[in-house]
Amino acid sequence: MRVTIFGATGMLGKALVRRWEGDIRGEDEDEVTGLGSAQADIRDPAQVVSAIQQSQPDQIVLAAAYTDVDGCELNPTLAFRVNTAGAVNVAKAAANAGARLLFVSTDYVFDGTKSTAYEPGDPRNPINAYGRSKAEAEIKMLTILPDACIVRTSWLFGPGGKCFPDTILKLAAARPELEVVNDQRGCPTYTLDLADAIIALFKSRARGIIHCTNSGDCTWHDFASEIIRQAGLRTVVRPTTSDKFVRPAPRPKYSVLSSSSLSKYGIEMRPWQETLLDYLALRAAKE
């Protein structure tokens, strides 16, 4: 099977290449082509078509995106060029090539007003430009490729990129106390676990919208506290509220994603707390 990954130089893209080329392949000899924006800028339909013609994939993962939430709010034109128009370019090229497509989306397509976990069929109602650009991409993609698989995930962290645990550990090295918001709740997701789930979904020929996160939910304060605890640090983590940290883009207060759609494919993801052990070990090995 030939697989092409758009966004292969990003945090998730690196994990996908690593896991697809690693030992989880089993007996399958998948040929993986990883493309960063230098090899294929998804904003340019000609570059997308050329990349797909050259790699001739059976399956495509679209992990490329402009994920700076505040940056999207300040430059929504760029957000929609990459996250919406870029996704449409890939979907059209995949349709013309007869390739299956999996698109990585986000919990930010929801407004955060629920108090129970979001299901795939819940109405989209994004409250920031990033969420709007991804929500529109989802809608347009399913029009072009009704059999596409859309994987919504949240609060990504992992090796090879800027992420929340890395930021917390760097701040903790310089400060005796940290203040972290305690009024936003979601599901931390480890990129290597997400990559494994995406590969399993492809092998199951999954279609439609699927929510995919590590199990369990927490606030950012809970997340930071667990990072500090597992790292064996003495930094004090104090709770605070979002209004104390005003940012350009509003965030959903509650964006926990239900695991029911993932469970239908027999895929269960471990608790997010367990994944921190792996992350910290990889981070330590590089220091």
CA 184 to chain CA centroid, Å, is 18
Max Cα-Cα span within the chain: 56
Q: Write phi, then psi, for 267 (nearest 5 degrees).
A: -105, 125
Looking at residue 22, what DSSP letter applies? T
Q: How many CB atoms lie within 10 A of CB 85?
A: 16
Q: Is 130 a catalytic residue?
A: yes
- The residue annotated as part of the active site, out of 130, 190, 254, 279, is 130
From residue 97, alpha-carbon distances to 88, 185, 220, 230 in Å are 14, 40, 42, 47
Looking at residue 257, what DSSP letter applies? B
17 within 8 A of 63, measured Cβ to Cβ: no
Query: How far, in Å, CA of 207 to CA of 224, rounded?
Result: 34
CB neighbours of 114 closer than 8 A, spacing ≥ 6? 122, 254
Query: How far, in Å, CA of 89 to CA of 103, rounded?
Result: 12
CA 113 to chain CA centroid, Å, is 21
Query: How far, in Å, CA of 283 to CA of 275, rounded?
Result: 12
Q: Write phi, then psi, for 237 (nearest 5 degrees).
A: -110, 115
Q: Active-site residue numbers? A: 130
